[in-house]
A = this chain, B = another copy of it.
Amino acid sequence: MAQSDTVDRILDAAEELFADRGFSETSLRMITSKARVNLAAVNYHFGSKNALIHAVFGRFLTPFSATLESAFDDLEASCEGTPPTLNQTLWALTESAVRMPQRNERGISIFMRLLGLAYTQSQGHLRKFLEQEYSEPFGRFMRLLKGATPQLSAVDRYWRIQFMLGATAFTMSSSDALQDILRNKLGVETTVQEIAARLVPFLAAGMQAQDAVLIPPTDTNVPVA
């Protein structure tokens, strides 16, 4: 055949190992031996380890950003002028992620982990690369958030978006470990879809919390409902 499946075998193995161990803690030799290909194949097909990492993201993120764009299109079309709500925007994002065709049942979980790692490892180089490479859907999501939270000042909105991002990236990046703990402690099985279903209301409520009073402790719970 003109093109063997070596490339895909490498991508599959790399994706899984990166998610389990992080990028710099995963060597090319681990990847090639898991994929049962020759060590030199990575540099032959991808050029370098860094290019491999980018390729792993590209394989998922390029079709995902297309899916996301059309989900945003549908959402805005169905709203006819009025800006989509916060809940709708967040759900459009998570639905798009969950609906992506998966290579296996761990697919989503693996990829969320990779995104989380991209935000915390290698001094954020990967984060900058991804935000640049996919600035279109990224910027659009930010604009939707702005439209959905007109009551927030720009500064408040900025920080709260970081809080959301943090909760998401962190949770997803360690979702395997967290699921293990939950299984051992409470005997509960969890899917990534369920985590997302718990995360979205948390984020939406935090995003719409009453403005921060810059004076510390009160002696009653903040009324929420």
Contact = CB atoms under 8 A, between A and B. Distances in A.
Given A124-B174, A168-B166, A222-B205, A195 B159 contact: yes
A212 interface: yes
Contacts of A166: 166-171
Contacts of A223: 225
A162 B171 contact: yes
B158 A163 contact: no
Nearest to A170: B166
A222 B158 contact: no
Given A158-B186, A221-B85, A120 B116 contact: yes
B219 A88 contact: yes
A39 interface: no
Contacts of A170: 116, 119-120, 162, 165-167, 169-170
Given A127-B177, A174-B119, A174-B124, A212 B198 contact: yes
A172 to B, nearest CB: 9
Chain A binding surface SS class: helix
Tell me how many chains of this kind the complex includes: 2
Interface stretch (A21-29, A61-69, A102-110): A21-29
A200 B160 CA distance: 11
Given A123-B20, A170-B166, A210-B225, A85 B198 contact: no
A208 to B, nearest CB: 4
Contacts of A220: 85, 87
Interface of A: 20-22, 24-25, 85-88, 91-92, 95, 116-117, 119-124, 127, 148, 154-156, 158-160, 162-171, 173-174, 177-178, 182, 185-186, 188, 194-195, 197-214, 216-225
